[in-house]
Amino acid sequence: MRIRVDPDKCTGHARCYGLAPELFDVDDYGLSSVVGGGAVPVELEDKARLAIANCPEYAIEELPD
C-alpha cells in the first residue's frame, strides 16, 4: 500500500498525524506529508485507512500499485 498527501488540499487539521504518527509528519505550518515516501508497512495499513477516512479535506489518497 502506498499513500500520498495532496498539499493543495491539506489545510493542517493534523488528524492523520494524530491517528498514525508513524506514517505522517506535519511541518510548523500544519502541512502534512507522508514519511518514507508513502510506503505503508503491512501492519500499519489499517491505520493508513483510518487516516484516509478521517481527513476532513479528503487530502490523503491511496496510490495504485
Partner 1 sequence: MANTTPVEHWDTDFDIMNPAYVADPFSIWDELRKTCPVAHTDRRGSTWLPTRYQDVVDLAHDVEHFSSAEITVIPFEGEVPEDPVLPYGVPPISADPPLHTWTRRLLLPWFSHRRVASYEATTRELCIKLVDGFIYSGTADAAGDYAQQIPVRVIAGILGVPAELSDTFTGWVRDVLEFADDPELRLRGMEGLITFFIEEVGRRKTQPGEDLLSYLLHSEVDGLPVEESVVLGVAALVLIAGVDTTWSAIGSSLWHLATHPEDRDRLIAEPDAMPLAIEELLRAYSPVTMARLVTEDVVFEGCPMRAGDKVLMNFPGANRDPEAFEDADRVILDRALNRHVAFGSGIHRCAGSNLARMELKVALEEWLRRIPTFRLAEGDEVTWAGGQVRGPRHVPVVFP
Residues that bind partner 1 (CB under 8 A): 11-15, 17-19, 26-30, 50, 53-58
CB of 50 to partner 1, least distance (A): 6
Q: Which of helix, strand or coil describes residue 10?
A: coil
User: Minimal distance in Å, beta carbon 43 to partner 1?
Assistant: 17
Query: Which sign does the torsion angle of CA 57, 32, 51, 62 carry?
Result: positive
The CB-of-46 to partner 1 minimum distance in angstroms stands at 10
Nearer to partner 1, 5 or 26 (CB): 26
Residue type for position 30: G
Cα separation of 63 and 12, whole Å? Answer: 21
